[in-house]
Structure 1
């Protein structure tokens, strides 16, 4: 759902997705139940749904020609959360169910194929318009399903983080979000911040022109390829792109085709003195630093870059996992009441009648009702430590990627987070309360690693050893230290206070990482593929709180 082209396939394409998961797998009963649901919704007896972890792929995609649908199991997290055969399960997994309905809408209404001769930029624009068009058509026949579609859109496409750095990306954000208001999927309040940011880049006149295009798209029939392509061309011309000669997306926006995988917005309030934080450089390829340092040895340096699509997708999925981990259902309590609604208690009713007959002040409460009271979500604190010693040189970039994914997701999920790097010295890269806007590829060239001191500094900033909240320490390192016994003692002390320790180690076949007790250790080749395990570690941390 975060990338238009990722889950709308031309109806003539051969499906490459796997067959529905067998009933024996953990997600088998979800696949079976949702296959029946999809067959009913689409009117296609051949419809099939596969619920399976998508790794770094989109949260959902479909093949309208064969009615095959795949939904990312990470949006559900726990297959035992509900019985998918019962209607009530939808409220337990509103985002995943909304993705299912979105893909069903594609199966029903995406019956046109962009010809191969169409310029890629026009195809991209037309498929963008298709997103709100099919949801509008679906809502016209099933208006009560709006809540699920809205839940999916607002959770997967964060309106507050809509990219507006270029004309194309701002227009793309408008097509994904503002168009869904006219499609009556989102409310105006859902996109207030996004609308303001988009209007700053596009201006009201251009937004009115684009709006006319998507509103016309909402009236196009399901098989009218010609008209959809014409609307895609109009969209491009409004943005100053010649659709007759453009070979593809504008060069500056090649990474924005998955625009709904939202990038970071404005920085949150920084809890430390802004003068002590790293200054951004105009050249993202040169080393950055120093940050907030604990000592005066050789500083740790890094190069900044924008997050890649796979990293953004992974951060989005981890954000959803962390939000679900923190969420608590309202508590149900039974309370007596003097008046309905509720269940009548016969004994109390008799007592009340007797009190009234005797002229006494009535005190009996003959009714009993169930009251739902909100339970505050537990607090979650996440500390991230990055090893910048020389032994990490070959793995510094993927490990830096893993650290960004965790830090970005933690702050978006409402957790308190801080990121530190340690080598000859300790550097606070991201102070508590600040969201990382770029990936900082560390230069792992330090002569040693001050892990114990880094843990102490993280504890000082985040109170990791203080019980009462969910606490998770994520260490990105191979674990080969000068003083491993001291490191183990530090880990054990944190563990005994209830702080979970997740260890992300590089996949080095030649020199396997050192594994410490009282940690959950994950060997990482591609950081975007271990999100489920990171999310489960956060859930375990909250369970201990």
Structure 2
């Protein structure tokens, strides 16, 4: 919930998938079944694991993945999650789960890259009460869980309302949920009084008209939601064409408002940058207290030209996806187990013991047969991060490097891996957020004055948890490696390597100015990216082998 969860993520402290031996595994399994039932999506997958300060919940509607912070539950033995009665023991966590299911059911629109950040933020705010209202219409009895989650995670009395923007934000966060019939008027009485004091009755009434119109918008109507976001901004005196960035002089800088804003942009709003022209970003929905901004407004923005993939690029992506799927597959494990009846191999000593037990009238316990049992082994998870260097030294190689990045990103998502693509120069820009497949090739314009490689690695780690053991991780860097601070870059690479993250470096094939080679990387000189697919695939296999 914009405040209760983050539908497609990434917070700097986002949790890693729960390991098989985790005490939260029964919760993950039980809630996965529940989510599949509530969303009618058999591919739904819920992971319950401590978030270590991250949002209470987040989800990836595109891949039907949901993560819930185990701290909302506290003790995994508090209840049996397979029994319906467990919900009353963990009402807040269950409410967050239902909110994320609502996103999976109804968040089927994406703001286009050209949408100004402030409009995107407003549209996503309207999305929160819209999807909860839609969910409540189909399952009215679940209202109490949604309400419990909202009122427990967001304290209306503490919601910032000191400026028009923050007051309007609080109105969209709380008062809109009253019209969505999730909260009761009494839940927001104090907040309504404070909001009205700042906005006035007329402005609040006009904002209410907008969110009530949003509640009637279809699940896939991107255009309409963006229009409502623009109207929201203009009512507050913000012209998106001249002031596209989010207000920074209001309550959004406070802890709670920053958490709300950070959660809102976890799916569709780039958490690290809001460039112009823009890239893609993740959808959000849960409180987050860290909302880093690592670009400087005066820096050169990263730009690109979109085009359809060529046949050779599509074929290369198909081949790489096949390699990745093959690399992820694990053959069933063979184990030998004793058995009391055939088929299998007869063990003479056990057979004699069984005969003696029967002759003596004792209960037979010997198992004279031994059989080989094949048990399926789950395929390991694969995470792929892709970093594209957009600095000026890459100008002559921007086209093939952009092609290589698209091939890897497309293949990774087809193979079921979690991936994200980022470009770095004077700014860091998330081109393809986790959970989304790249639709077009983005030919980068490499004209930045510097390269923020270390910060790009940090952002990729924040999005994908590349430094967190437990999964197979591959970082693909598309760059010539000529950096202002090569020692810091090497230190960053070394740290990732020591955590078990494999690093594949795709460098331009430039004989007049060879690329710098860093330790702990597999470096491949790329002339035509469609010809190095086997090398990329082998690097992924190596990463999976080490997982």
TM bracket, shorter-chain basis: 0.3 to 0.5
The alignment's TM-score, normalised by the length of structure 2, stands at 0.48
Higher relative contact order (CA 8 A, sep 6+): 2
TM-score (normalizing by structure 1): 0.48
